[in-house]
Structure 1
């Protein structure tokens, strides 16, 4: 859906599920299991490249992708800069902001004020294929933030978000990984997985099934049972 307001397009992705229920269910899982489920369904390249981790090991994030496309530029054009401000009008409760950076390393691509504004519009976390700054503020406000590195340098005059809610590319485990608005983003201390939007529920249900089997397998292993018997019974190890 796209409408115009104050010269900036409002682009929202409507999901056909209760975002709070789906989020709570994903958050009980872990990325390794979701990645396994995707591979089982034939999707082998859905993880972001190693290096994108949360600011603290307990942070997890889950929600439909709100994409932001940025480029390195020395421009200080306020009209272009205002695109970043206008995009907040498109945010809906439950979304996860995910930003590309084209490999830029010149500055902090995300910070506490951006997180505050995003959270006020319903954003539940951010995944930055680059860096963040204001890390202590982000940690103290308990805003799940994933990034490749940290950098205190201001982005204005070095890097700008120039569009949003369009397909973007981030670094994947095997080349570039395409992220569409509405794809499901799930991240924990091991990294970030991108679930194609139409697989949000099927992947969740399969991962939940395996999660239950793993729990029983773990309990059986802890008693000292023969590993071959446990694997034969539960199918997960």
Structure 2
């Protein structure tokens, strides 16, 4: 039985998002392990475009599609799906598309106008240079100039989806889960443990900050390990 999502106010969601921007995925991954959530990392094929796009942190808004030949002229379901994006969200795109982009510059602009703070794409993107000018972080599986129109079509949104995983073939992403990405990769934090994970990740972050300061002041690594244990 799926857990019931925790309902939070818009202010609480944004406050949590800002706090997550100050912690590293490595610390969050360690916390998830202690909770028995061992398969929350996305595959290493997910790459930031551009590499300087910065940190990604926000609430999952899921979009799913599939290869489905149709006439040129646009995908109204994709437009309807994107219209539902709200502030602080990260769109997470899934599907069986190969060789085609799921979205480009114009959709990124439209989502940003609605307060979306980034995207994770288990597929392709294009217009990378122009998306970079929007300062809109995107982690995607590949890049391609080939459009999805007439090839790949959205067939669902705000539903549980599966994206490629790091330690498992697939990772489940539900609407309202928290997505965190940085130089080390991307994690899915289930909605019901977001608060627990954040508090412990902040504690680990403070501990690491203290360790770095003490190392700079002359503490040896052996002394740090004896004092703080595994870090």
TM over 0.5: yes
Deviation at 1:167, TM superposition (A): 0.3
RMSD: 1.8
Instruction: Report matched runs for 1:29-68 at 5 Å.
Output: 29-55=23-49, 56-68=51-63
Residue 140 (structure 1) aligned to one of 133, 145, 167: 133
The superposition leaves residues 62-84 of structure 1 with CA deviations (integer Å, 9 ceiling, x where unpaired) of 11100000111212386x92111
Deviation at 1:227, TM superposition (A): 2.1
Instruction: Report matched runs for 1:1-237 at 5 Å.
Output: 14-16=7-9, 18-55=12-49, 56-76=51-71, 81-102=75-96, 104-173=97-166, 174-237=168-231
Structure 2 Cα separation of the partners of residues 15 and 76 of structure 1: 41
CA contact under 8 A between 1:129 and 1:171: conserved in structure 2?
yes
Structure 1 Cα separation of the partners of residues 71 and 183 of structure 2: 36
Structure 2 Cα separation of the partners of residues 118 and 98 of structure 1: 12
- How many pairs are equivalent? 223
Q: What SS does the corresponding residue of 1:137 show, helix, strand or coil?
A: helix
Structure 1 Cα separation of the partners of residues 7 and 159 of structure 2: 14
Partner of 1:10: none
CA contact under 8 A between 1:33 and 1:211: conserved in structure 2?
yes
The superposition leaves residues 54-112 of structure 1 with CA deviations (integer Å, 9 ceiling, x where unpaired) of 1123511111100000111212386x92111112332221110000122x322111211
Indicate how the Cα distance of structure 1 residues 159 and 14 shifts in structure 2: closer, same or farther if over 3 A, else same.
farther
> 51-60 or 170-179, which moves further after superposition?
51-60
Structure 2 Cα separation of the partners of residues 141 and 109 of structure 1: 18
Deviation at 1:191, TM superposition (A): 1.3
The superposition leaves residues 18-38 of structure 1 with CA deviations (integer Å, 9 ceiling, x where unpaired) of 122111111111111111111
Structure 1 Cα separation of the partners of residues 113 and 34 of structure 2: 37
CA contact under 8 A between 2:176 and 2:191: conserved in structure 1?
yes
Indicate how the Cα distance of structure 1 residues 141 and 58 shifts in structure 2: closer, same or farther if over 3 A, else same.
closer
